[in-house]
Chains A and B, each alone.
Chain A
């Protein structure tokens, strides 16, 4: 017996679609607050000491959190190779901007406080702001473009051609999604700062967090409305074999208004995702001033979970529609790795993801508690 055939190709593809969501949500829920804290750094911290406190709330954990992104890249490569190939080559300049901004973070955290100079530290503070703001914005802009369809074509040998440019990405709907992403991660970063700091920094974080949570609710509603009114969805016309070979050219796709809402009509339980998006953000807004800091962070995570899930569910089974050659759109049924690779990767994920969850929780437990000024002045290990 061949072990990997215990699970059908179709099942594995659905599992890997879910895992794709898990990785994106894992990234947004963990490194998301690091990005949010980066954005808030120059505002939440007014003095040098306050800024060091802000940086040191994430100093010991951001590196591990960022691995969600790296793992996301690797897992998309392994499980959805066409998605990896089309999206990153298509969004080339946008990806470059993300990478350039993300490069600033590790060095910014590590190098900022190694010299006393105020100018040196001020420059790094703004570099860390860029390292938080730019990726947050572009990730959202990218999602906004994916929802509208991306201008790529596939040759008969599945070579990829991209017809758009960088500035084409910056359309109104995509920018709306970008702002939603910024607001959502700023809310998340604030919730983290409220949990990990005290005094004026926590006070400012509460204020920024309230604005960001409100903005998240409004922008998410506006995004949903705009998606309904102005963005055509995609649907597969005719039959597609969910167990068929991964060749995106073997199907027909049509563009239809409202198609991105069809899944909710067919499966009303999916409405739980947008509902959680709203409830999470509203809950975080209500909880921010209550002193229940852990609850606020969890509600903010819930909002992230709901918002990202709702994008995935709206599009299912599409993962990257093509606006210029709809038939070449990448879907769950024709853009995955082989049956065997999906199975092997599932086994590896099944073994290691729980282990990662265990030791990550342990690390957070060790680092539990608020960061105070004395943590920075004593010991000499702080950033």
Chain B
């Protein structure tokens, strides 16, 4: 076991340095952006479902529903757009070395997101709002589909980019350009970490929208207002929400399984698993992880469960934090060899002039070079690092365990609550007894905030849990930031905080006002698209 590095207090408050402030700003703007995105993802699909029913049956109530939930969608959507622009430029602004180092791979999915998804979504969202009287029913329905497809594809490309940060595949370091370059684009595209995270994230968005529709409809039923609209909305939201909530849990589990393959440290930190346990490992249900003592207090274990989640076997071991720190230390030493060899590449006038032993050393140790960069936090040239600094850097690979431990449990707990809530609503909705279950309606209203808490907690597990890496195993966050100054960063953090705070207050008030106002009266029924005999009686 590595001795605890001297002078390194894990629990001390963060210093206000450039990297910390840049991270703070990124977390602030990303978490804020992610308040609006999940609802957009899910509600766009619910709108498409509702409008499809309207077009097929000609029943005006479904058009009224589409318009009403569409109004709320719009209030939410604009803030997602406004804060998304910030995300698009922030990598260059605050993470310029990151942008240089991995732009060759990371930039592509962002650009394709614009080309394939965001253009579609943003161009047709105007027709969704302004096209009711200008388009045929089918034309408008197609616009709504375009918005739903666009926003969901948008999430796909963003998560392909993010999946690469978690599990960088298909790229290698090019000493001539001092950066990572893509050699297998399909590996980046079909990165199974990205695929899993995509389905998990959009499903979470669908749950968010379902809970949103459910909660507001339940409030209407409790108040005895807009009964028709609320009941139908509940039927749609509960069935869609149940499927999605189950999908969130299953794909979350898949994510855990993949993490055991690619992000062992994140998984160990989530579980607060300090020591490697004999297989199958037990799952720590609750406890108080202690970064100083490197153990959990008052822990309650469930035998076998962790082994099953992490390895899907009863025989495979899951490494604990302490073992992983030892491994990280080995990789740091190996990375220093690569870093040293790289200097010969840089000194050589041409590739042919690089000493063969350096070429061999770089080929052998190049994959660990990112670990050597962990040392740049303590020393300019990793080759000059002391033993103590190497030990410190190895400990830096442990994310803040209590944060991850609790964020994960909050997220999973809410995930299961959502499954139960949706299942209950599907049952009472099918039986037609929903108005006789006020306690369930109250529960739905009370549950309104839960998906947002889960989504933010999920972001923390995924991205805070990736630390100290910006690109897992390739580029540490400390090496990724721009060379800005502390006052500059404090200024922009204050600026974003101010603007975002004002806007969320305005947004919430407009949202509440629109909910209180309720759906607006609409014109009478119209002819269904389907032949009359296929339209079920109301």
Contact = CB atoms under 8 A, between A and B. Distances in A.
Nearest to B522: A380
Interface of B: 74-75, 78-79, 81-86, 88-89, 91-94, 96-97, 99-100, 103-108, 110-116, 118-120, 122-127, 129-135, 139, 146, 174, 176-179, 181-183, 185, 346, 482-484, 488, 491-492, 495-496, 499, 503, 506-507, 510, 513-514, 520
Contacts of B181: 337-338, 340-341
Given A66-B122, A73-B88, A247 B177 contact: yes
A89 B94 contact: yes
A245 B134 CA distance: 53
A71 B92 contact: no
User: Do most interface residues of chain B lie in helix, strand or loop, or is the interface mixed?
Assistant: helix
Contact of B114 (A71, A111, A161, A363): A71
Contact of B78 (A110, A160, A247, A380): A110
Contacts of A46: none
Given A89-B94, A344-B185, A348-B111, A64 B126 contact: yes
Contacts of B129: 59-60, 381
A353 B111 CA distance: 12
Contacts, number: 248
Contact of B85 (A84, A103, A366): A103
B482 to A, nearest CB: 4
Contact of B103 (A110, A247, A337, A356): A337
Contact of A367 (B116, B134, B483, B496): B134
A135 to B, nearest CB: 11
Contacts of B183: 340
A344 B170 CA distance: 14
A262 interface: no
Given A60-B131, A103-B82, 13 more contacts: A60-B126, A64-B125, A70-B114, A92-B488, A93-B492, A95-B93, A106-B81, A107-B78, A161-B483, A247-B178, A345-B111, A359-B146, A366-B131
A366 B135 contact: yes
Interface of A: 59-64, 66-67, 69-71, 73-79, 81-82, 84-89, 92-93, 95-96, 99-100, 102-103, 105-107, 109-111, 114, 156-162, 245-247, 337-338, 340-341, 344-345, 348-349, 352-353, 356, 359-360, 363, 366-367, 379-382
A245 B176 contact: yes
Contacts of B139: 366
Contacts of B130: 59-60, 367, 381-382
A75 B116 CA distance: 12
A60 B125 CA distance: 8
A85 B111 contact: no
Contacts of A78: 103, 107-108, 110-111
A156 B126 contact: no
Nearest to A159: B97
24 contacts: A59-B130, A63-B81, A63-B122, A64-B125, A67-B122, A77-B91, A77-B111, A78-B108, A81-B100, A84-B91, A85-B100, A87-B92, A92-B482, A92-B484, A106-B82, A114-B514, A156-B346, A158-B100, A338-B174, A348-B108, A360-B119, A363-B123, A366-B139, A367-B127
